[in-house]
Copies of this chain bind each other. A is one copy, B any other.
Amino acid sequence: MSAYQTLEARFARLDALEGAMGVLHWDAEVMMPSGSMPVRAEQLSELARLAHQQMTAPDMLELLTQAEEETGLDPWQQANLREMRHQYLHANAVPETLVAALSKATTTCEHVWREARKERDYPKFAAYFAEVLKLVQEAAAAKADAFGLSAYDALLDSYDPGMRIAIIQQLFAPLEAQLPQMIQQAVDQRSADRPELLSTSVPIETQTALGLELMQALGFDFTRGRIDTSAHPFCGGVPGDIRLTTRYTEDDPFESLYAVLHETGHALYESGLPEAWRQQPVGKARGMSLHESQSLFIEMQLCRDASFIHYLAPKLRTHYGIQVSDEEILTALHHVERSLIRVNADELTYPLHILLRTKLEQALLDGSLPIADLPTVWDDEMERLLGIRPDHVGNGCLQDTHWPGGAIGYFPTYTVGAMIAAQLKQALARDVPDWATQAAAGEFTGITGWLQTHVHAHGSRYTTPELVEAATGAPLSPEPYLQHLRARYIAL
């Protein structure tokens, strides 16, 4: 067996182990009884230990080096080997003691954060967050060292291989320059009142049935996946056994439905990955930005488009018994409002929430923003960007789970994903000119098939910029995204 083949066998076993963890995580969120967490924590930590042990086995480095000298690898195998090396470097950069300390500190901090957010008690949170931040800084320094990157770039790279702050700054600058004024225009052109339709009550069983119908229409394979309810919607499991979740709110006909559509976008990506490479690093999703581009393509680019609403509206009228026109639905779904909470923000204001976080997390990481100053700096920045000011830390800097969980470098992927989605959509319109007619007729295979061919089927064979350029014919750019937002939200 060649060194490359040995590595393939090892990574296939690692994939099985990680798949098991995926199902156990899903179970913990969806099925597990409330008192069983201690037992589950032992199981997950043992599986994580075994996975880490395999990834840091003493002969791994030699196998990788040997394989890199072997000849006759085809392009997929070469890309696979590159991904193996990349995963190896990430896993081996951070000492095991630091991994364990970080896991413990974030578990505690997330727990304290939940209470502190409720109690609006920043000092309570800050003490624990200081420990998390210190450990993240150490881990980032270790990775920076291993990869020859800056600390923040090293963290970005772990969520989105190849992503760098220099790229992000270039992508985000036009948003910061143009969005505030676009939002002002959009708000001026709209009624300040939230459309009533957004708070129409619909029984949960009815919502569930329509969600299933739309998943089916979009091509979700229920023989290799299922949908359940959890506190926060997510797409878990593994390709071949996808576990999607949503949550239901009786007083909102769209929240759950669009969560389902969003997660279905993630699911289609996972199930569209190259089957032959399912167990190998090159067969995995490319990174968080591209993953988010797939969920946002379905949720935002496709399912909030007038064509899709033409397909959806009769269902809302018959299934939900809501007497509304297509136009009223579009008005509701394209409502724009300055708001404090990221997860509730509309498509147009959302990027500013990300810009704020991207800026502040860099400052937290390099130490230029003291933890004690975060609430004020957050509120000031919010006021500067969106023109509104949080009235307490609960709807200010304590609203998100990412930082207490140690995830610094993750936030930008949301907006980079939104940009990629817009650029892919322009390319789709070029390649499949009648996509809107198809969508209006409830015929989605032309659209999802295009995504499968140009995005999903490549797995991690190319970098994200390479893949976007190959799929769209142009380098990743904020322009299609800004054009999309302008077209959708600003009346001529």
Contact = CB atoms under 8 A, between A and B. Distances in A.
A98 interface: no
B240 A39 contact: yes
Nearest to A12: B42
A377 to B, nearest CB: 42
A321 to B, nearest CB: 25
Nearest to A225: B33
A34 interface: yes
Contact of A46 (B17, B31, B34, B38): B17
Interface string A30-50: 011111101110111111011
Report the copy number of this chain in the oligomer.
Answer: 2
B34 A223 contact: yes
Contact of A240 (B24, B36, B49, B240): B36
A430 interface: no
Contact of A241 (B33, B49, B223): B33
A341 interface: no
Contacts of A45: 16
A19 interface: yes
A326 interface: no
B35 A20 contact: no
Given A13-B46, A23-B24, A33 B279 contact: no
Contacts of A44: 20
Contacts of A240: 35-36, 38-39
Contact of A20 (B36, B47, B238): B47
Contact of A43 (B16, B40, B50, B223): B16
A45 to B, nearest CB: 7
B223 A35 contact: yes
A49 to B, nearest CB: 8
Given A226-B31, A226-B33, A23 B38 contact: no
15 contacts: A13-B49, A15-B42, A16-B43, A16-B46, A17-B43, A20-B46, A23-B23, A23-B43, A27-B27, A33-B225, A33-B226, A36-B240, A39-B240, A39-B241, A40-B241
A36 B241 contact: yes
A384 interface: no
Given A23-B40, A36-B241, 18 more contacts: A13-B49, A16-B45, A16-B47, A19-B42, A20-B47, A23-B23, A23-B27, A27-B27, A31-B31, A32-B241, A33-B224, A34-B223, A35-B221, A35-B223, A36-B223, A36-B240, A38-B240, A42-B279
B43 A19 contact: yes
A52 to B, nearest CB: 13
A51 to B, nearest CB: 10
A48 to B, nearest CB: 11
Closest 5 CB pairs between A and B?
A36-B241, A16-B46, A35-B223, A39-B240, A20-B43
A100 B239 CA distance: 26
B238 A39 contact: yes
Contact of A50 (B12, B35, B50, B222): B50
A279 B41 CA distance: 13
Residue among A13, A19, A23 with the highest chain B CB neighbour number at 10 A: A23
A457 to B, nearest CB: 19
A229 to B, nearest CB: 13
A98 B318 CA distance: 60
A156 to B, nearest CB: 31
A16 B34 CA distance: 18
Contacts of A40: 23, 241
B32 A16 contact: no
Contacts of A50: 17, 50
A19 to B, nearest CB: 5
A278 to B, nearest CB: 8
B20 A24 contact: yes
Nearest to A15: B42
